[in-house]
Structure 1
Amino acid sequence: MIQRVVFTLLSVLLVQYGARSQSTAQKYDPSKLDLVWEVVEEKYQNKPQTLSSLTLKNTGQQPLPASGWALYFHASPSFKAEGANAPVKIEHVNGDLLRMVPTSSFKRIPAGSSQKISIVSGGQMINESRAPVGFYLVWDDNKAKGHRVGEVTYEKPTKNMVGWIEAKEVYAQNKAIKDIPVEKLTKVFPTPASYTETGKGITLTPAVPIVADKTFSKEAALLAEYLGGVFGQEPPVQPTATGKAIRLQKKDGLGPEAYELQVTPQEVVISATTPAGIFYGTQSLKVLVPPTALASPQKSVEIVGVKVSDNPRFGHRAFMMDVARNFQKKEQVLKVLDLMALYKLNVLHFHFSEDEAWRLEIPGLPELTEVGSERGHTIDDGENLQPSYGSGPDVNASSGSGYYSKQEFIDILKHATARHIKVIPEIETPGHARAAIKSMDARYARLMKEGKKAEAERYLLRDLNDKSEYQSVQNFNDNVMDVALPSTYNFLEKVTDEILAMYKEAGAPIETIHFGGDEVPPGVWEKSPAAQKVIADNPKVNNTDDLWYYFFANINDMLKKRNLYLSGWEEIGMRKVRKEGKMTYIANPDFANENFHVDVWNNLGSNIDLAYRLANAGYKVVLTNVTNMYLDLAYQKAYEETGLNWGGYVDVDKPFYFIPYDYMKNMKVDTENNPIDPSIYADKVRLTEAGKKNIVGLQAPLWTEMLTTPEKFEYMLLPKLLGLAERAWAPDPAWANEKEAAKGETLYQQAWSEFVNVLGKRELPRLSYYLDGFNYRIPTAGAVVENGKVLANVQMPGLVIRYTTDGSEPTAQSKVYSGPITAKGTVKLRVFDPTGRGGRGVTVENK
């Protein structure tokens, strides 16, 4: 009897297993599901929202079932299916990850058929950066596995529903730009404090030696390496020489980064007090080399005769490189450092930790990179983090995953130090910390399984009993460290000490660590037992708001013990207070004299004057204004342009015309590029003389949510970074201080013309070849029809406009624009660089 029952049960199980296996084998192939995204209507229903459609096209041999699956993708949580009986429901998972699940209204899609789904989302689809990305499918019976779908197509809207910039508007913007002969341009960039051309230059060959004081041997070696690339062989470096030579010599009394450069027919002499000064002198010599000399090895190069005396305007000239949202390999970081050095930027703010990833190996905390550096489909973030920004379901299949080993980071530090660039590491705290939190959760789970409870809890970053509810700006509900836990400080001390050990091994200087501090949402810590205990035990902590000051006081003490000062985003210097019945923020007097360095990005709305308020209060301020310095913002309002636009649009002119000590004077347009009435700034706080001394420098960040390749990264980086380089190094321009508006505008237009001519005729051609070339953005042509003729211009004279009249896209072999085009019909224009690489084309109709 027992044997018969057992046999029957086994038979049933085998039948069920066989049926399940057969069902799985016959399941639809997700790679046969193609998707088409299309914007249908902007300002849908006269609201600030967009109606779009997603078409599911079944290219396979089997039907897509009516249920049993979910389609995951990345977008704003505002995305919702349209209609009361919509065939799908869209759910927010976490962060930017959403999933679409079929409802009872969804009908299976037969092979060769398609189904269109209407979707409403907040805001406007300015460009493809607002569209959903990273689609993949998950079956209900195996929710741990994600499957890539087929081809995803984004249809450009046929109507200009959002006011995209047109060729005639670009033409109007460019109209005031003068074409300045190259011989009349300043040949050293950024613009030096004092520059004179003598007319008597020198011919350099690989036989011309570099003669250097021993103090400057490292700078001499780097210069020899560069010239070796120009000539195909390095010139000798020696302590003495007679005759023609490049001489690096010490001169007392100059500033810490100042130098003098003189070029005569017999020698190049670079003088400075410090190695940094000598280094910047060698960078000026490098940009005196004609750009075309970098295209192929040269037997000799002609260097114009100059006399230069130079020093920087600001001591802190920073670029912030985000490698957390999307990863860039070590080689790309080194390339960026070389680019920064060429243009005399001296601080790399290294943003390696975020909600979406932790990118630096920390000895003793392997989960930070084993879990925190990898993104892919997951149920619980236990082995890797969830996908973000379209990184997809597969770990290590995109720039969503990756990290720097200890040795790679040491290599980066050595490379930066040799080029007189300080690297400021950023450990995001207490918000934007999801990668660290989930990594330490994984560590906790591992050690608890091993029965090591105390060790498991040592570095926990969240209170396991916390029931607080919140949602961050990036839509995460679990991304804030619990600042009441002793284990949080254990973690931060451990990471800090391991980072300091890497700096020591690299021989790199470090004065500060950046601890983030921005965008912690309301609601955090309110239901944390650990937080409530700190509030009860500490007379200075009366509520969860006070935990903020408690946290940064502790971090500040920890850093001071290590002879470091604290850097962070603006919020580390702010205090929440109630004023006239409303909650507002003021400069926190508690930390005003603690040498806090704050990167102030927010100059929007009521925070227009925030940087000046903090500087006047005693904080050291790095101007990082979103309206002028955020390199990830789109160049212009065009569908094809990558980039966000929440803070406006940033082309190369925005950092160029930034006025550090009176930036409200340069805020000419709003976030939609519409003119601003200056009277709105009448009641805003201005910089005092004492506050002026607290402006330590400028910084341009490049956030990488949309930048999944080095090419996309470089497109957004350049040429905008050159505007920052000019404003951070060059002397205060006359137009910035001119009180008469008309005269100031005339002075500005002349300076702007000189700047874009230098870019178009010298620096962008140089960057076409330097370090094997950069994928800088080539501007679109401006074009207008007047009197039956097409007129065209370009933002950067020196770059070439080519055109066609047969409807084809212009190539490097198309006709060069040299004057008005009389041909009727469709005229297409496109700008090209010296290598034949073209920018985005424009079309005009000459009727």
Structure 2
Amino acid sequence: MTNFKKIKKPLLYAGLGLALLSQEAYAQKSSAIADQLQLTWKVKDGQNIRKNPVSTLILKNKGKSAVQLNDWSLWFNFIRSIDPDKVDKRFAIDHRNGDLFQVSFKKNNFLLNAQDTVHIDFITTGLVNYTDGPIGLYLKNNKTGLATNISDYSAVKIAPQSEAEKTDYFAYKYDQNKLVEGAVAQHIIPLPSNISINNNEKFNLSTDTKLFVDHEFASEGGFLTDFLTSYSGVKLAASSSPQGGIEIVKANNLKPGSYHLTIGAKGIRIEASDKAGAFYAIQSLKSLVNHSQWNKATKSITLPYANIEDSPRYGYRGFMLDAARNFHSKAEVLRILDLMASYKLNKFHFHFIDDEGWRLEIPALPELTAIGANRSANFEDGKAIQSAYGSGSTAKPHQFYSVADYIEILKYAQARHIDVIPEVETPGHARAAIKAMRARFAHYSKLGDKQKAEEFLLDDAEDKSVYNSAQNWNDNVMNPALPSTYHFLSKVIDEIKAMHDQAGVPLTIIDLGGDETPSGVWEKSPKVLAFMKENNIANVLDVWPLYITKINTLVQEKGLTMSGWEEMGMRNKGKGMVVNADLGKSGIHLNVWNNLPGQGQEDLAYRLANAGYKVVYTSAANNYLDMSWDRDFADPGHSWVGTVNLNRTYSFSPENFFINLRKDDTGKDLRPEAYTNKEQLTAEGKKNLLGIKGALWAEKVSTDQRLEEMIFPRLIAIADRAWAPEQTWEKGNSFDEATYRKSYTSFIKKLGEDELRKLDRINGGYTYRLPKIGIKKEGSQLLINTDYPGFKVYYSDNGSTPTLKSKIVNGPIPFQTGKKYLFKVFDAKGRSGDVISY
């Protein structure tokens, strides 16, 4: 085990800290040109945003003196491609690597006079929303190399759109929202296995109520008393024996995670066989308490008589957070864990390592965070990695989890019955690690220590292979022929395992990524060619399954289970990736995401489970929470999966994916090949389906506010699908739309009218996504509704921005031609959505 207290970082990396401080000092002073420039990005008028539109960067000199642009270059991150041959000859736009672009000013004596503007037009691949635009803009002096962020920058959130197109969109939204009206709200989220409620009789929970907790469930009882103390005026009195009131007792006949909850004349009784079951019963009790009783003025909580017998549908109910592309603090991780626990999610897949950042301190390899957690405009010196996903010019301090941070997260999760599954990406998505170990190599090479220099090296300097990864990197894949690659992975796993041991939370499973290794890798590496000869491999494609076998053995020898993305269970025999049945019984767990409707892999999760792999169904088409909610240009998120709204998330049928697969995300009919003649889940395959998971990739998620907006409320729908028993509409070969609508409407009514109000209170409030507005004109009236109920819409008919003092929508609104109507959604705390004009 590593002794964390005795490890000290090499002096080289102390120097890096001084370099970063000097950069920050420069950035604080700022350059005069950065202060003078105002930048705006927009899509030019008359463009079809889906078909290679022309967009423009507008540079305005808002200062009092001219700016000599030739002295500078403009840098930004941009996830789309740019055609360099179709840029105004006064400029050059060059792709550097990843998502980083450089604009050079080519015109001789390029002066931008005071108050003048210049437009940089460029053609991109299709856009979906404003978050596709450039981010992280900074200027770099061509002579000094010093760089500074552009602070005055905005992306226009309104796309070129005709009034007819806008009207059609709002009418479409109204019709979709109308489908979820009616029905009675379900009583608890997630939906229990069996529940009966008697609203005619009530039990009053008050300060006079006694609480008895079996000693084995003492910590779970603490969560109940903490809840009541924090969110009500009820303080329970402890009892040494069960005598009515609240009883949390041990029962030996229930499955793990299961519970019985009864509420009657004598009070509340919770029975469970394990701590997790008792904990989940308390979460159900919290959900049963209406939000109106969640306040300090409440001295008595009224609960209906109830009888609940509940067990989870799946043992794996997860969420993956990407904290590598954009870092999110320990405090935010703890906030996310709290809500995961509230909705009975029990697996936290922690993705803190990727091309764009290494976010976990590894004491034995301090370079990983000294280099890999710092993104800077001055990356060429090897003391940082390049800017990515809006990080800007200057490295931010402490963009990683320390050993102490990680241990605190582990303990916090364990107390809430959540397992943390760390992910170490290999062989692809490894650029931050590769650059860090290359810096280590350079350092020890200068000292003449060849052994230390090469000890953890991850790339072959003589490798001339040409490739381009999914995120446009050409240098992000570890070399499987280097013994140092395996030594590196072994060391990192040992260090992570030591942190778990120190936390008292033993590591049992570790994720080693394995996704998106691009074609072309290793083909021109002398080390790999020698490796192939040594292992009697004739085709470079066969290096892949051998590598997966080797790292699986490495992990198993440490007493651990290896998980990874679906590619670990696949191989390429020359015609694309197919299921590798040879490793089906190897013990590898797979996160399977690829089921995109109409793309041919709709049944991949089933094929892998049927082949023997343990599968966690991480459906991109339903559960990728970084996706845009719908086709509104002002709605943030990715779009390569299509759109993923709450309805699409809730409609996921893990064991019968094709049941409601008939249309794509635009509403167009899919070809029957998308849902017919597909491999179904066998009885054996069903045993291998461990559960389901939601995922949030953070390329477009740089703030905690955006993170929570993207996750919630969709993650709550995932929690319901992971816990609740299989529904009637999921079964058979034909989809019962009416039964589904009743189920979904019941869920969404509980969510909008009750659960989201609780999110306003928990931990000071969460910035979940506010519902969007639908508008439909019928005759001389405007009809208004929202994505989900429970929120007020304010409006004006004189062009003024709606406030809490404006008129509230309480029914149809009289419409008069010539008037400008503006609408805005507000939540109970006064937080508001975008202004919608009609």
Q: TM-score, normalised by structure 2?
A: 0.92
Residue 73 to residue 594, structure 1, CA distance change in 2 (3 Å): same
User: Which position in structure 2 is the counterpart of 1:49?
Assistant: 52
User: Which position in structure 1 is the counterpart of 2:325?
Assistant: 325
1:745-781 per-position Cα deviation (integer Å, ceiling 9, x unaligned): 1111111211111111111111111121111111112
The 2-side partners of 1:158 and 1:358 are apart by: 36
User: Which position in structure 2 is the counterpart of 1:377?
Assistant: 377
The DSSP-based 3-state class of the residue aligned with 1:785 is strand
Structure 2 residue aligned with 1:776, among 765, 768, 779? 768
User: Which position in structure 2 is the counterpart of 1:405?
Assistant: 402
The 1-side partners of 2:157 and 2:555 are apart by: 51
Aligned AA (2:311): N
Residue 234 to residue 705, structure 1, CA distance change in 2 (3 Å): farther
The 2-side partners of 1:455 and 1:63 are apart by: 53
The 2-side partners of 1:75 and 1:54 are apart by: 12
Measure how far apart 1:247 and its partner are: 1.1
1:34-54 per-position Cα deviation (integer Å, ceiling 9, x unaligned): 11222115767x993111122
Aligned AA (2:99): D
The 1-side partners of 2:165 and 2:571 are apart by: 40
Residue 233 to residue 498, structure 1, CA distance change in 2 (3 Å): farther
User: Which position in structure 2 is the counterpart of 1:4?
Assistant: none
Aligned AA (1:346): N
- The reply on whether 1:542 has 2:538 as its aligned counterpart is yes
**Mapping of residues 174-573 of structure 1, within 5 Å:** 174-180=177-183, 184-199=184-199, 200-231=201-232, 235-240=236-241, 242=243, 244-380=244-380, 382-396=382-396, 402-539=399-536, 541-573=537-569
Q: Name the stretch that deviates more: 229-238 or 601-610.
A: 229-238
Does the Cα contact within 8 Å between 1:652 and 1:722 map onto a contact in 2?
Answer: no
The DSSP-based 3-state class of the residue aligned with 1:607 is coil
Does the Cα contact within 8 Å between 1:646 and 1:671 map onto a contact in 2?
Answer: no
Structure 1 residue aligned with 2:143, among 117, 141, 154? 141
User: Which position in structure 2 is the counterpart of 1:724?
Assistant: 718
- The reply on whether 1:574 has 2:566 as its aligned counterpart is no
Residue 524 to residue 81, structure 1, CA distance change in 2 (3 Å): closer
Unaligned runs of 5+ in 1: 1-24
Structure 1 residue aligned with 2:133, among 116, 131, 156? 131
The 1-side partners of 2:455 and 2:790 are apart by: 60
Does the Cα contact within 8 Å between 2:205 and 2:302 map onto a contact in 1?
Answer: yes
Aligned AA (1:484): A
Does the Cα contact within 8 Å between 1:221 and 1:237 map onto a contact in 2?
Answer: no
Does the Cα contact within 8 Å between 1:668 and 1:675 map onto a contact in 2?
Answer: yes
Structure 1 residue aligned with 2:608, among 590, 611, 614? 614
Structure 2 residue aligned with 1:642, among 636, 647, 650? 636
Residue 800 to residue 28, structure 1, CA distance change in 2 (3 Å): closer
Structure 2 residue aligned with 1:790, among 782, 787, 793? 782
* Count of residues in correspondence between the two structures: 803
Measure how far apart 1:106 and its partner are: 7.1
The 1-side partners of 2:717 and 2:676 are apart by: 28
The 2-side partners of 1:447 and 1:225 are apart by: 53
Does the Cα contact within 8 Å between 1:330 and 1:412 map onto a contact in 2?
Answer: yes
Does the Cα contact within 8 Å between 2:80 and 2:132 map onto a contact in 1?
Answer: no
Does the Cα contact within 8 Å between 1:32 and 1:150 map onto a contact in 2?
Answer: no
Does the Cα contact within 8 Å between 1:56 and 1:114 map onto a contact in 2?
Answer: yes
Q: Name the stretch that deviates more: 202-211 or 245-254.
A: 202-211
Unaligned runs of 5+ in 2: 1-28
Measure how far apart 1:142 and its partner are: 1.5
The 1-side partners of 2:30 and 2:216 are apart by: 73
The 2-side partners of 1:504 and 1:26 are apart by: 46
Does the Cα contact within 8 Å between 1:413 and 1:503 map onto a contact in 2?
Answer: yes
- The reply on whether 1:111 has 2:114 as its aligned counterpart is yes
Residue 775 to residue 456, structure 1, CA distance change in 2 (3 Å): same
Aligned AA (2:407): I
Greater C-alpha radius of gyration: 1
The 2-side partners of 1:524 and 1:679 are apart by: 32
CA RMSD of aligned residues (A): 2.2
Does the Cα contact within 8 Å between 1:574 and 1:585 map onto a contact in 2?
Answer: yes
The DSSP-based 3-state class of the residue aligned with 1:305 is strand
1:345-400 per-position Cα deviation (integer Å, ceiling 9, x unaligned): 01000001000001111111111111111112124262221110111001117xxx
Measure how far apart 1:673 and its partner are: 4.1
The DSSP-based 3-state class of the residue aligned with 1:304 is strand
Aligned AA (2:224): L
- The reply on whether 1:593 has 2:585 as its aligned counterpart is yes
The DSSP-based 3-state class of the residue aligned with 2:685 is helix
Residue 238 to residue 419, structure 1, CA distance change in 2 (3 Å): farther
Does the Cα contact within 8 Å between 2:87 and 2:122 map onto a contact in 1?
Answer: no
The 2-side partners of 1:560 and 1:468 are apart by: 31
The 2-side partners of 1:775 and 1:763 are apart by: 13
Residue 503 to residue 396, structure 1, CA distance change in 2 (3 Å): same
Does the Cα contact within 8 Å between 1:718 and 1:777 map onto a contact in 2?
Answer: yes
User: Which position in structure 2 is the counterpart of 1:33?
Assistant: 37
User: Which position in structure 2 is the counterpart of 1:19?
Assistant: none
Residue 832 to residue 149, structure 1, CA distance change in 2 (3 Å): closer
Aligned AA (1:340): M
User: Which position in structure 1 is the counterpart of 2:743?
Assistant: 751
User: Which position in structure 2 is the counterpart of 1:802?
Assistant: 794
Residue 626 to residue 239, structure 1, CA distance change in 2 (3 Å): same
The 2-side partners of 1:172 and 1:409 are apart by: 46
The 2-side partners of 1:620 and 1:777 are apart by: 33
